[in-house]
């Protein structure tokens, strides 16, 4: 299985122009209060110049489904990533595919995935999404056998190969791990991509 790459937390047109040069599969736009929050107007402008080979993911926390759908239509979002307490029924009301985020502290947390019957995948993160803090990957090493799995939380070029080896996720999601002084850094992005692709080729 080839591991896909998602770069999350893009904020500027310059970020998009940089990302377009590389074999990235998905980018994430954060619509919740954080240092990476962007407006729907910003995202619409970024989506206009995003490579058609790259899918756009909107990140939300406890946002009403009708508001999410309005943003999806306005910006041209391809996938919605939900990090709140959304029910399976609420996820089903979203007009594009949904990834449900699960914060993993122990194996019991993974039982939550069984509640969501129609989501297209699960993003497994640490205690707090977006914190850049990793978790014990061995807890989820069997998860990708049953579900489309996006692994996040504290990933960087130094540990992503180990993550892939243990979990075998369908996708790895990185944000702070490819930043320098709070901005996306091209050299770190290139190094991260090389580590993921090198692992694929070695397999």
CA 57 to CA 157: how far, in whole Å? 22
Instruction: Classify residue 182 by its DSSP letter.
Output: T
**Angle, vertex CA 93, rays to CA 89 and CA 95, nearest 5:** 150
**How many residues are there in the chain?**
203
What 3-state class would DSSP assign to 166?
helix
Place of tokens 């056998």: 145
25 as an active site residue: the answer is no
Helices (H), 22-64: 40-49
Catalytic residue among 15, 75, 91, 125: 125
181 as an active site residue: the answer is no
Active site positions, annotated? 8, 125
């Amino acid at each position: 299985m080839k591991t896909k790459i998602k770069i999350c937390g893009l904020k500027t047109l310059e970020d998009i122009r940089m990302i377009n040069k590389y074999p990235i599969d998905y980018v994430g736009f954060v619509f919740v209060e954080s240092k990476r929050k962007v407006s729907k107007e910003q995202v619409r402008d970024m989506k206009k110049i995003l490579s058609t080979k790259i899918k756009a993911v909107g990140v939300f926390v406890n946002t009403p489904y009708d508001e999410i759908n309005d943003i999806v239509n306005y910006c041209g979002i391809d996938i919605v990533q939900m990090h709140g307490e959304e029910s399976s029924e609420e996820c089903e009301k979203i007009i594009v595919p949904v990834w449900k985020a699960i914060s993993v502290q122990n194996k019991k947390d993974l039982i939550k995935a069984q509640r969501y019957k129609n989501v297209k995948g699960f993003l497994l993160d640490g205690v707090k999404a977006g914190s850049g803090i990793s978790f014990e990957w061995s807890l989820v090493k069997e998860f990708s056998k049953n579900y489309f799995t996006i692994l996040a939380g504290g990933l960087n070029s130094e540990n992503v190969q180990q993550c892939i080896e243990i979990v075998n996720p369908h996708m790895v999601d990185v944000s702070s791990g490819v930043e320098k002084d709070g901005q996306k850094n091209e050299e770190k992005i290139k190094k991260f991509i090389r580590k993921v692709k090198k692992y694929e080729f070695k397999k």
